[in-house]
């Protein structure tokens, strides 16, 4: 095959693989969003991520929004004043916004406008409804889009992804897309699970990390160092890394055992996938094969 034909074939294969991954993630959230919102760890706060019980955190709502508070601090957002003085509010992107809980919490507590991106039509509808109900439609908008291929958006002082980055099938492309949306000095903040070097290559570690990735439809589980290298190529410099694993509360053993049984039962595929991935994550965290980090990267054109 001539080189040009070979390159074209490789590109078509990559596109096809990305589309399959995208559709799998969309189906996963179309099946699971409603029960995750009602029964998951973030129930009552419209978030689909884990609570972080950092030092001094006592209330469950504060644990669920701990990472949002850290994001606001990293971006230098000003607390809501009720009067922005007519000046345009800073704009932030939520890459993988779920049902909008993080964006709405930030918009309610800080002077900011947020665009939330999700590939799930169900999540867009729920987020838009919540914005109307809370009177935040002027500050938050939610759109259905692939965060690998962002639409034209206003320049942003920051972009964040909370437990959504690991769904990316093309990490370099996602990072480049996010960087292109950021103003000079803007921040890309990624809160997610990252592989460690512990037991790298060992069969047991590989089996459980694969089970975690397959269950939650994670196209990439990478290391902090590998991501830092990719970000550097996109003009993003790591400026903060905050270890969050010590502040996660493990699922009680009886509950974990029940989830393992349910994950092996003939449940609807999407539900089974979620349980299977969640229980595998607990095993991976307990053994130190993955760690939960908040990473902040700064854009510099120099």
Give residue-wise pLDDT tens across range 73-97: 999 999 998 765 668 999 999 999 9
150 or 256: whose pLDDT is higher?
150
Q: What angle do CA 202, 232, 288 make, to 5 degrees?
A: 25
- The number of folded domains in the chain is 1
pLDDT of residue 40: 81
Average pLDDT of span 116-134: 98
Average pLDDT (109-116) is 98
Residues 6+ apart with CB under 8 A from 119: 22, 25, 26, 29, 144, 145, 146, 147
Q: Structure pTM?
A: 0.91
Residue closest to 42 by CA, chosen among 25, 61, 58, 26:
61
Taking only the tens place, the pLDDT of each residue in 209-220 is 999 999 999 999
- Would you state the pLDDT for residue 262? 60
Q: How confident is the model at residue 165 (pLDDT cuts 50, 70, 90)?
A: very high
Cα–Cα distance between 18 and 53 in angstroms, integer? 35
Considering only residues 213 and 300, tell me which one the structure prediction assigns the higher pLDDT.
Answer: 213
Q: What is the mean pLDDT of the chain?
A: 91
Tokens linked to 132 = 């109307």
Q: Is the pLDDT of residue 302 over 60?
A: no
Across 17-41, average pLDDT: 91
pLDDT value, residue 10: 52
Q: What is the pLDDT of residues 231-254, one digit of tens each?
A: 999 999 999 999 999 999 987 666
Residue span of the structural domain in which 247 resides: 3-299
pLDDT of residue 266: 59
Per-residue pLDDT at 193: 98
Q: Which CATH number do you get for residue 53?
A: 3.40.50.150
> Measuring CA to CA, how many Å separate 273 from each of 13, 28, 93, 211, 228?
26, 8, 28, 9, 30
User: What pLDDT sits at residue 251?
Assistant: 76
Residue 252 has what DSSP assignment?
P
């Amino acid at each position: 095959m001539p080189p040009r034909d070979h390159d074209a074939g490789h590109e078509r294969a990559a596109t096809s693989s990305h589309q399959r991954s995208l559709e799998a993630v969309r189906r996963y959230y179309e099946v699971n969003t409603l029960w995750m919102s009602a029964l998951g760890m973030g129930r009552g706060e419209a978030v689909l991520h884990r609570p972080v019980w950092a030092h001094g955190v006592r209330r469950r709502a504060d644990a669920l929004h701990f990472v949002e508070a850290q994001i606001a601090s990293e971006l230098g957002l000003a607390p809501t004043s009720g009067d922005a003085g007519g000046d345009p509010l800073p704009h932030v992107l939520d890459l993988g916004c779920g049902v909008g809980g993080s964006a709405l919490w930030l918009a309610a507590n800080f002077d900011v406008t947020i665009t939330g991106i999700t590939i799930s039509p169900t999540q867009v509808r729920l987020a838009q409804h919540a914005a109307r109900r809370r009177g935040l439609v002027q500050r938050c908008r939610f759109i259905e889009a692939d965060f690998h291929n962002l639409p034209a958006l206003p320049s942003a002082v920051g972009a964040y992804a909370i437990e959504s980055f690991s769904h990316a099938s093309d990490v370099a492309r996602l990072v480049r897309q996010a960087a292109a949306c950021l103003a000079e000095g803007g921040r890309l903040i990624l809160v997610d699970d990252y592989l460690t070097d512990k037991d790298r290559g060992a069969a047991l570690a590989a089996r459980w990390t694969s089970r975690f990735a397959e269950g939650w439809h994670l196209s990439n589980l990478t290391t902090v160092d590998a991501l830092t290298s990719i970000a550097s190529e996109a003009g993003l410099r790591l400026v903060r890394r905050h270890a969050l694993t010590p502040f996660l509360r493990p699922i009680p053993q009886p509950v974990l055992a029940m989830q393992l049984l349910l994950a092996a039962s003939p449940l609807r595929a999407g539900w089974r996938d979620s349980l299977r991935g969640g229980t595998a994550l607990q095993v991976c965290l307990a053994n130190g094969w993955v760690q939960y980090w908040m990473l902040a990267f700064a854009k510099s054109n120099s």
